[in-house]
Amino acid sequence: MTDAPILGPINHISDLSTASDFEKKHTPHIGISASGDVTTVTVTVGWGVPHPNQPDHSITWITIYAGEAPIARFDLAAVASTPTVSVVVDLESGTLVRAIAHCNMHGLWTAEVTL
Ligand SMILES: [Fe+2]
């Protein structure tokens, strides 16, 4: 098993429309849904281009931040095909939500959206 660095560098692809398949399959996709007072943040890795999830190559964790503060972390086993995680949040409009995903072979990948 390869262990890519967990302290950086962090890959940030700002425009997925021009990204390679390699970049697309690693970059977290952040979806925001609101229903009444409930806001749900859903992060998917492998959005549009599936990431391999095998014992020697997989997404091992996803952490979600509000600004600089971590608000949720998910540790994943290789059986998590197209890893998708969700958390219900109580955050003010305008909050920057960021997700970081770790691939054990290809390191850290991030994306962000503003609520
Ligand atoms: Fe990977």
DSSP states of 11-67 as a string? EE-S-GGG--HHHHHHSEEEEEEEETTEEEEEEEESSSSPPP-BTTB-EEEEEEEET
Q: How far is the C-alpha of 106 from the C-alpha of 98, rounded, in Å?
A: 19
Contact (CB, 8 A) for 55 and 78: yes
> Which residues, chain by chain, have CB under 5 Å from ion ligand 1?
103, 105-106
pLDDT band, very low/low/confident/very high, at 17 (cuts 50, 70, 90): confident
Pairing mode of beta strands 69-75, 107-114? unpaired
73-92 pLDDT tens trace: 999 998 867 899 999 999 98
CA of residue 36 to ligand 1 center, whole Å: 37
Question: Residue 33's pLDDT is what?
Answer: 95
Which position has the higher pLDDT, 36 or 105? 105
Task: Calculate how far, in angstroms, residue 76's C-alpha sits from the geometric centre of ligand 1.
Answer: 14
Q: What structural domains does the chain harbor?
A: 10-114 (2.60.40.730)
pTM for this predicted structure: 0.90
State in Å: Cα 18 to ligand 1 middle.
19
